[in-house]
Amino acid sequence: MAVDRFGRNIHYLRVSLTDRCNLRCVYCMPEDMTFRPPAELLQDDELLRLMPLFVSLGFDKFRLTGGEPTVRAGVVDLVRGMTGTPGVKHVSMTTNGVLLRTLAAPLAEAGLERVNVSVDTLNPERFHKITRYGKLEQVLDGLHAAEAAGLRPLKINTVVARGFNEEDVVDLARLTLDHNWQVRYIEMMPFGDVADFAQNQIVTQEEVMGRISAELGALELLNGGKLSGEARLYRLPGARGTVGFISSVTAPFCAACTRARLTADGRLRLCLLRDGEVDLLTPLRAGASDDELADIVRGAIWRKPWGHGLADDVVPESRVMSQIGG
């Protein structure tokens, strides 16, 4: 079991498969983003070597992210290798859904359990504006393909940015009336080059809840307010699905954190919102043994920071979200 010095059991690894993306969401990366050369990223065999090592340390839950994980060449075979690693219980993915129309079925067949799909608005023009060139209909096709392939329960991630989509939160919540989906509103977090944007355009949970309740009725708090993963869940009157809030900025859940992140370039990042990282790629390529690599991971987890420092204006500067793995 990998435990940090505060007694938290860290067993959930978010694995970034690439820093590249087929969209350019305004709050996620600058338009003229430069990407790492592929040779500087963890290769399939390197990633598959690290999987049993993380399992041996107690990790059982893995989420593939990016960048956009579905643009990684050979993603289906890589997923098959990861899900086939003994001891791996759950492998899921966070995706923008653009490629799910064709990839949902093969990914499900390769053992992927479910997907979270990021959709910030159901308005095609505003979707185009927020993603800089996305086509909403591709994502909606992807959502339905995911459901048909059995990648359930389906969760929708919505980041709310003032001036872009704060009015669309109601339409997204309305989806939960007829679908057993979870629509989760994520407070925008500041990173690197897009930090100013995120801080100036943030829309809080309180405002989103107010907009939804005013149109669709009171939101009933579920689970006695206990977090489900990182989200606090609610239900609209008569709804099949649920509405969730991930309010890392105004209501941090660091005390309940169980995760670490592996960046596409092989760095272990212990807190999304703090810059410190531990390099695994260099020792791995220098011939470190499994025991040596496990010691590096164990030590890094022990030193995991207690939580983020946004309240004290400590903002991660070194990388934007797409380079870390959201």
Nearer to ligand SAM, 68 or 277 (CB): 68
Residue 104 sits in the site that holds ligand SAM (CB under 6 A): no
Q: Which of 181, 191 has the CB closer to ligand SAM?
A: 191
Residue type present at position 156: I
Nearer to ligand SAM, 202 or 284 (CB): 202
Q: Hey, what amino acid is at 175?
A: L
Comparing CB distances to ligand SAM, the nearer of 24 and 49 is 24
Backbone angles phi, psi at 227, to 5 degrees: -70, 140
Which of 21, 42, 130, 280: binder of ligand SAM (CB under 6 A)?
Answer: 21
| End-to-end Cα distance, the chain | 24
168-197 residues in contact with ligand SAM (CB under 6 A) are: 186, 188-189, 191
Contacting ligand SAM within 240-279 (CB under 6 A): none
Closer residue to ligand SAM, CB minimum distance, 65 or 182: 65
Q: What is the 3-state secondary structure (H, E, C) of 280-322?
A: CHHHHHCCCCHHHHHHHHHHHHHCCCCCCCHHHCCCCCCCCHH
Least distance (Å) between residue 225 CB and ligand SAM: 22
Of residues 182, 242, 322, 323, which one binds ligand SAM by CB under 6 A? Answer: 322
d(CA 98, CA 34): 21
Phi and psi, residue 155, nearest 5°: -120, 140
Residue 219 or 246 having the CB closest to ligand SAM: 246
**Rule CB under 6 A: is residue 134 a binding residue for ligand SAM?**
no
Torsion of CA 166, 211, 202, 32, to 10 degrees: -20
Q: Packing angle between helix 100-109 and helix 136-148, nearest 10 degrees?
A: 20
- Note whether 27 binds ligand SAM by CB under 6 A: yes
Q: Is 96 in the site for ligand SAM (CB under 6 A)?
A: yes
Identified binder of ligand SAM from the candidate list 15, 53, 100, 198, rule CB under 6 A: 198
DSSP 7-43: --B--EEEEE--S--S---TTTS-TT-----GGGSPP
Angle between helices 75-83 and 44-56 (to 10 degrees): 20
Least distance to ligand SAM from the beta carbon of 289, Å?
32
Q: Does 164 bind ligand SAM (CB under 6 A)?
A: no
Count of residues near ligand SAM by CB under 6 A: 20
Write the CA distances from 23 to 36, 38, 108, integer angstroms: 17, 19, 23
> Nearer Cβ to ligand SAM, position 66 or 241?
66
- Contact pattern for ligand SAM over residues 49 through 68, marking x by CB under 6 A: ----------------xx-x
Q: Which of 2, 122, 239, 321 binds ligand SAM (CB under 6 A)?
A: 321
Is 2 or 114 the residue whose CB approaches ligand SAM more closely?
Answer: 114
Which residues are paired to 3 by β-bridges?
9
Choosing from 92, 118, 121, 242, the residue that interacts with ligand SAM (CB under 6 A) is: 118
Quick one: DSSP state of residue 225?
Answer: G
Residue (of 220, 195, 130) closest to 166 by Cα position: 130
Instruction: Give me the residues that bind ligand SAM (CB under 6 A), please.
Output: 21, 27-28, 65-66, 68, 94-96, 118, 157, 159, 186, 188-189, 191, 198, 321-322, 326
